[in-house]
Structure 1
Amino acid sequence: MTSVVAAGGVSVTLREVTDHAQTVLDRLLSDGVPGALATRNAQLWGPEAAPDAARRLGWLDLPSTCRSLLPRLDEVDSAGLDRVVLAGMGGASLAAEAITRTAGVELTVLDTTDPHQVAAAARDRLERTVVVVSSQSGTTIETDSLRRVFERAFEDSGITGAELRRRFVVITDPGSPLEALGRRAGHHIVLGDADVGGRFAALSAFGLLPSALAGVDVVSLLDEAEALSPSLRQPYDNPGLALGSALGAAALGGRDRLVLADHGSGILGLGDWAEQLIAGSTGKDGKGIAPVVVEGVDAPGFEAADDALLLVLGGRPHAAGLAGPAEEAGVSVCGPLGGQFLLWQYATAVAGRVIGVNPFDQPNVQESKDNTAALLRGATDGTAPMIINAEPALVAGSVEIHAPTELLNGARDLRSVFDALLTAVPDRGYVAVMAYLDRIGDAVATELRPLLAARSAQARKTAVPVTFGWGPRFLHSTGQYHKGGPQTGLFLQITGAVHDDVAVPGRPYTLKALQLAQAFGDLRALRSRDRPAVRLHLRDRAEGLDQLLDALKS
């Protein structure tokens, strides 16, 4: 039976409504979840989650409350500055990227510590550049480092004094260290909503103001979200409730892989934003929904499996003429970007209740941050060298393989390394590719995901899901699922040689050291949980990536 739930310009189509899914939905209705969410009932996720939920439900009102922040944009002195750089991490930055890409507007999103990528951005059109420094806590190490690098770059190009002050716009929570620093420096300050977490901040100042500064009409996004808002307070004809109950019911029934493919939605980057929201919100306590973003409905990995729920962003199965693999999709979602932001946030909160997790905390994100800080301290004061598996288990051309010997199973070349790793993936498991590289200059690395997915079907009887994430951006989102979700992942980290390092002014480390500390810190967190993790280090990035791709294509 196919069910379509539509309201406010958004529709959710469920291809198969099972008895189990209907039972989950009925329970949500009998528990009064829509009304409780509308009144911000922090008890919905249990007493332990209540303190977090009590200060993290402001996203429900953002379609109306965030409008008051938009006039602040008129106060920004951006005359002659038409290149906007967003220095920020997490879900709000991914939201801003989706907004501007969909609108066809340029926004340089720097959510990286890769020296090559940062150096290129800091050399580009500085005379026309304004930098948005975005951090809720005001202590994010990546954001602070990027602010320092750009400040030095501006000064070196002769931009100082009042001209330097107007080159930075600061977005942060009230009372944060970044607010105090920005006020001392004379930068324009925009304060965000303290009761909205980063993953749920797409429609807040953190997601909208960088987009507006870049030239997007963000009022239309708020209008789209506000059109959906009334239905989310209702027990019926509520797309958010329908989607959330479907995700939660599927996970409870063993289909805890959510495979996302765009099929004509017209929205660019929505899958990446939804991935961080779902994984970061549900992946904890050994539970979770694992989002797997694929390149399209014909891509390797978008195929029916007993542990996977296929979801199409765009077309409706059996109603919009979908053909081929898209016909297998259990769910499809249509609607404008503003409405989809609110829809997915609501659905993720509901799914968290169904599977029994707190969607508003992120304990393992902080763990990786702490590991990074400890490694940096040890490396800079000489008390602890920043080394993990210093001697590679195997060298193949420009690629070093750092891995426990039992994982390699005697492999002597890259082809056999990949086959050994894919064979070692647990049943109902997945592979996570984590690339600490330049996502502009090393963009070819994204081809590893579909190639590994296709190769896995040859190396074992059934294909395994493969995800791809750029480091360190994924640490603030899917990294939570990697360490807090089910013990079913195999982790493939990729690092690369640095030939153009960047100093971090006022700090005793460079971006190369910071990037390695983040990579090694995450490896330590994974291995401390006995989660299999391999590092491939590229002695030469271009040659190494070519070798990896050739090994998978052969």
Structure 2
Amino acid sequence: MSIKVSAAGAANAAAAAKVGELVAERFASRLFAQDATLWGPEAEAESAIRLGWTRAHEISRELVDGIVALRDEFASAGITRFVLCGMGGSSLAPEVITRTAGVELVVLDSTDPAQVRAAVEEDLERTAIVVSSKSGSTVETDSQRRAFVSAFEAAGIDPASRVVIVTDPGSPMEEASRAAGYRVFLADPHVGGRFSALTAFGLVPSGLAGVDIAGLLDDAGVAATAVAIDDESNPALVLGAAIAAKRFLGIVDDGTSIVGFGDWVEQLIAESTGKDDLGILPVVLTPGAPEIDARPADLQLVRVAADAEATPAGGDDITVSGSLGGQFVLWETAVAVAGAVIGINPYDQPDVESAKVAARGLLEATPEPTPAAFVSEGVEVRGSETVVAGQSTLGGAIDALVALIPADGYLSVQAYVDRNRFSALEALRDELAKRSGRPVTFGWGPRFLHSTGQFHKGGPKVGAFLQITSGEKNDLEIPERPFTFGTLISAQAAGDASVLESHGQPVLRIDLGESGSGLDALLGAISR
């Protein structure tokens, strides 16, 4: 299935204004020749070691036989349940690949103790885990691995028979994993995490779960040929130039068979472009989202459709279509284009570390919890002085936060809770978008820190933030660590809030309580 892009109205005009220039400078062919000079002298050093994704569909073929052989080995031993411990690009690509293929993969990209416990305790006898990290130093992934190894040992299962590692060659994780007897797959070190869908990070968990990964690479190869040409018909040049024209990018499923694609695109674009007070913030929308009918002028809508020609773009919309492997290549190329048009380096992430540093500081210092500004309907409320000053009700604090969204800004809902238990929180996005008239994003914490978190700190400082937390009665220890999963996720939430506030952005923090009893109060306050 070929990839197609259709742009109409203002989106088409924005593409037309830039595509000719991109063709004249041979941007596409130079990109696929791995020319690191495309984003300017300051970006050259980083770009020079991050362009391996342009050949991932070729280089990764050598992995396929080994992945399939291991899958068969596991199956013969009755091991058919796979859990992926990974964050950001390491988890989002396998999630969309396996959901689209309709195969089971448990994606554990949370530090919520209840969510971790559910993944660890279910069907351990038939479970193997894939631990994905470029260096092995990611605190979430390391903590998840420790929990599983402890559980395997307690059940009398040799962890070496159940742990699969995906990492960069020469990383500390490779050395430690080989010493422990784990199976190790090495990824291309010249590919950044968010561009790693077609490397070992995307292929190993997906292939073990049962996906036809050879077919995925075949589709990607067809797309790579189409987007590497210096021609005004190049779909990636059109898409990249069109999305660079506005700050917000609404992504809506319009009948495609690809499941959850918006979440992967969100992290790719936000982390690649949100820096130097510039960038594009993706907003994942449902077909009935308020932003579609009451369209903010600074939001560009992209429809992901089964066939862009059968569903042509209308108004100012963009429509894209293609196989999943093709879409990976299309959007990675389009982001490279958009970075050049905007004038940023799409391969660094200078602000991702700030929230991690703040969280580590809180874990080491273990300060007393910040007292609540007030308690309303059983919900503890904290936040920036500009939000909570003079407020005494949950509804009043929410009204105050919405009122602080800049006219050219957005609201971000960040839920540091058990995704399975509190799935109803996702409904808040549409309600708040309807109330505010501005784009609203929704992210599960701490997963979004490896995605939109870069834009929140590095992009334009026009955000307002609603952070939702919930304590857990039954916390979970992290073996050989001086903190628990409950302590970790609390530190991550508090650390992120402190960094956002240090940038002068308003934050409202809502704690639903250990029992989660505040959920109905929060949903009611927002729907009112």
Smaller-chain TM-score range? over 0.9
Percent identity over the alignment is 47
Deviates more, 1:442-451 or 1:67-76: 67-76
Number of matched pairs: 521
Does 2:366 correspond to 1:373?
A: no
> 2:352, 2:453 within 8 Å by CA — same for their partners in 1?
yes
User: 2: distance between equivalents of 1:305 and 1:482?
Assistant: 19
Does 2:99 correspond to 1:101?
A: yes
Does 2:524 correspond to 1:534?
A: no
User: 1: distance between equivalents of 2:525 and 2:462?
Assistant: 25
User: 2: distance between equivalents of 1:368 and 1:106?
Assistant: 32
Structure 1 match to 2:37: 43
What SS is found at the alignment partner of 1:48? helix
Structure 2 match to 1:543: 517
User: 1: distance between equivalents of 2:88 and 2:332?
Assistant: 15
Alignment of 1:492-511 (within 5 A): 492-511=466-485
Structure 2 match to 1:118: 116
C-alpha change, 1:38 and 1:386, in structure 2 (3 Å) is farther
Report the Cα offset of residue 541 of structure 1: 5.0
Alignment of 1:66-465 (within 5 A): 66-76=60-70, 77-78=73-74, 79-160=77-158, 164-236=159-231, 237-248=233-244, 250=245, 255-296=246-287, 298-303=288-293, 304-314=295-305, 320=310, 327-328=314-315, 330-379=317-366, 385=367, 387=369, 390-408=370-388, 410-456=390-436, 463-465=437-439
> 1:310, 1:328 within 8 Å by CA — same for their partners in 2?
no
Report the Cα offset of residue 247 of structure 1: 1.2
Report the Cα offset of residue 398 of structure 1: 2.5
Report the Cα offset of residue 302 of structure 1: 2.1
Deviates more, 1:364-373 or 1:16-25: 16-25
Report the Cα offset of residue 261 of structure 1: 0.6
What SS is found at the alignment partner of 1:131? strand
Unaligned runs of 5+ in 1: 1-7, 380-384, 457-462
User: 2: distance between equivalents of 1:131 and 1:33?
Assistant: 40
C-alpha change, 1:89 and 1:204, in structure 2 (3 Å) is same
Report the Cα offset of residue 343 of structure 1: 0.5
Q: Deviations over 1:101-150 (max 9, x none)?
A: 11111100001100010011111000000000110122111111001000
User: 1: distance between equivalents of 2:178 and 2:219?
Assistant: 34
- Aligned match of 1:32 in 12, 26, 33? 26
C-alpha change, 1:18 and 1:346, in structure 2 (3 Å) is closer
Question: TM (normalized to structure 1)?
Answer: 0.91
- Aligned match of 1:479 in 415, 428, 453? 453
Report the Cα offset of residue 405 of structure 1: 3.7
User: 1: distance between equivalents of 2:368 and 2:281?
Assistant: 31
| AA aligned opposite 2:378 | S
> 1:258, 1:292 within 8 Å by CA — same for their partners in 2?
yes
C-alpha change, 1:541 and 1:280, in structure 2 (3 Å) is farther
User: 2: distance between equivalents of 1:344 and 1:515?
Assistant: 31
- Aligned match of 1:10 in 3, 25, 31? 3
User: 2: distance between equivalents of 1:481 and 1:175?
Assistant: 30
> 2:352, 2:449 within 8 Å by CA — same for their partners in 1?
yes
C-alpha change, 1:315 and 1:299, in structure 2 (3 Å) is farther
C-alpha change, 1:155 and 1:9, in structure 2 (3 Å) is same
Report the Cα offset of residue 404 of structure 1: 2.9
User: 2: distance between equivalents of 1:273 and 1:151?
Assistant: 29
User: 2: distance between equivalents of 1:406 and 1:528?
Assistant: 13
> 1:493, 1:535 within 8 Å by CA — same for their partners in 2?
yes
Deviates more, 1:20-29 or 1:426-435: 20-29
Question: TM (normalized to structure 2)?
Answer: 0.96
| AA aligned opposite 1:259 | G
Unaligned runs of 5+ in 2: none
Report the Cα offset of residue 315 of structure 1: 5.5
C-alpha change, 1:24 and 1:541, in structure 2 (3 Å) is farther
User: 2: distance between equivalents of 1:522 and 1:102?
Assistant: 32
